[in-house]
Amino acid sequence: MNYKKLFLNYLQFEKRYSQHTIISYQTDLDQFEGYARNFFEDEEGLDRAGAKVIRSWIAHMMESGMSVRSVNRKITTLKTFYKFMMREQHIKINPMDKVISPKLKKTLPAFVEEEKMDELLDSHAFGKDFHGARNKLIIELLYLTGMRLSELIQLEDRHIDLYEHTIKVTGKRNKERIIPLEHAAIDIIRNYLNLRKQEISNLKTKGDWLKRQEKTKEILMKVDAQDNSEVSVIAHCIFPNAVKVIHKMDADINIGANARLDYKETHYHGDFGGIQVIPKARVTLGEKALYENTFSLVEGCVGKLDFDYEVISGARSVAELTAKVYGKSDDIIKISEKVHLNGSEARSLIKTRIVLRDKAQAEVIGETYGNAPYARGHVDCTELVNGKEAIARAIPIVSVTDGRAKVTHEAAIGSIDRRQVETLMARGLDESEAVDVIVRGILR
C-alpha cells in the first residue's frame, strides 16, 4: 500500500494545505525514505521505520550542517505523517513518541524603527503615475498590516472593504482573517484604484488588438485535469474600446478523481458596451474532485452576456460556481448555471450577485438536481436594482430524484437601501460614491 500517497491526499483534500506545503512534506518523506533505504535495509518502509532510524537521520542532518530550524521542520513532517498512520490504524506504535526535537536557539526579531520607515516612505520617489501608486501601495500594505507576501499576492478587490476600513486575507492552511486599515491606507488604495482604471483605458496604446473596435474572438478550450492534479487558471479579458466585438468560449472540462481546478475569469470593459460575451462550458467531476469557478464582470459596461455552464458531479465531489456582474446602460445579462449531483454525497453551491442600473436587464437561472444519495446542493441568487427602468428576474430550479438528497434555493431581488446611502453621505461621500461603495460591497 502506498502510505505516502494516502497521506498526501489527506493533506490536500482534508486539511486543505497549499500545494507548496504538500510539496515540502513530500520532499521530506522522500529524503527520509531514501536515508532509511540506504542505511537500514530492514526498516526501509515508512510503515516499518522505528525511532532508531529517525534519530539516526536527525543526527545525520545535524552533522551535515543543516540548521536546527530546518531539521525541526522535517521532524514535524514525520510527526504529522505517523500521527496520520496511527489514526488510520496502519501502525500500532508511533515511533515519534521516542524522538526528541533539537532545541531551537531563541533570537530577537529584526525590525525597522517607525521613524526610519516613515522617512523611507516619505523620501522615496514613487512617482504619481499608476506604477508609482502600485509600488507605494505594496510597501504600505506590507508595513501597515503585517501580512505575508503570499497573502498580498492573493488579494483581490473584493477582499477590501473601503466602507468598514478592513481587508480580508487568506493565510496558511486557507484560514481567513480580517485586518483593520488606517485612513491613510484607504486613501492610498482609492488613489491606486482610480489610476488603475485610467491605466486600463490607456491600454489601447499598448497593442493593436486593444485598438480594434470590431472583432470576433472564439476560444475552444479542452481541459483534462488528471487524477490527483491541482490546476489554477486566472483569465483577464480586457476590451476598453469595443464597439462591435464578440467574445465566445466553448469549454469541455474534465476533472479527475481527487483533482482540483480553480478557474477565475475577470472582465474589464470600456464604456461603449459594444461587446457580446458568450461563455459556455460543460464540466465533469470525478470522485472527490473539487471545481471552483468565479466569473466577474463589474468594470465598464457589460454589453450582452450569455453565460451558460453545466456541471456533472461524481461521488463526494464539490462544485462551487460564483458569478458577479454589474449591469449598466442598456446591458442585457443572461446567466444559466446547472448542476447535476449524480454521485453520492456530492456537494454544490451556485452563488450569483447581480447589480443593475439605468436600463439594464438580467435573467438568472440556477438549476440543481439531486440525483444521488446524500447529495447536497444550494442555489443562492441576489439581484439589486438601482433605477426605475432596470429589470431583474431570478429563476431558481431545484429537483430531487433520490429521497436521501437535499437541494435548497434562496433568491432575493431588491433595491439599494436608502438608509445605507444616507449613512455613507453623512461620512463625507456624495450620493454616487455612496452607491458605488454599497455596490462594490455586494459584488466583492
Q: pLDDT, tens digit, for every residue of 388-433? A: 899 999 999 999 999 999 999 988 888 877 787 778 778 777 777 7
- Whether 209 has a pLDDT exceeding 50, the answer reads no
Number of H helices, E strands in the chain: 11, 17
- 16 or 408: which carries more pLDDT confidence? 408
Residue pair 319/345 in contact (Cβ under 8 Å)? The answer is no
Predicted confidence at residue 332, as pLDDT, reads 95
- 119 or 291: which carries more pLDDT confidence? 291
CATH 1.10.8.60 holds for 114-200: no
- Whether 207 has a pLDDT exceeding 60, the answer reads no
Q: What stretch(es) of the chain map to CATH 1.10.150.130?
A: 3-98
Predicted confidence at residue 214, as pLDDT, reads 59
Q: Is 349 helix (H, G, I), strand (E, B) or coil?
A: strand
* Interval 93-117 mean pLDDT: 84
Predicted confidence at residue 210, as pLDDT, reads 46
- Give the separation between CA 34 and CA 322, rounded to whole angstroms: 44
Q: What stretch(es) of the chain map to CATH 1.10.443.10?
A: 114-200
Residue pair 317/287 in contact (Cβ under 8 Å)? The answer is yes
* Interval 183-205 mean pLDDT: 81
Predicted confidence (pLDDT) per residue in 122-181, tens digit: 766 677 888 888 888 888 898 888 888 888 888 888 889 888 899 999 887 678 899 999
- Whether 64 has a pLDDT exceeding 80, the answer reads yes
- Give the separation between CA 21 and CA 208, rounded to whole angstroms: 42
Global pTM value? 0.56
Q: For 3-98, which CATH superfamily applies?
A: Tyrosine recombinase, N-terminal domain (1.10.150.130)
Query: Which of 194-198, 270-274, 333-337 is modeled with the greatest confidence?
Result: 333-337
- Whether 42 has a pLDDT exceeding 60, the answer reads no
Could you tell me the pLDDT band of residue 41, with boundaries at 50, 70 and 90?
low
Q: Residue 426 phi/psi, 5° resolution?
A: -65, -20
Which position has the grid cell 504529522?
Answer: 80
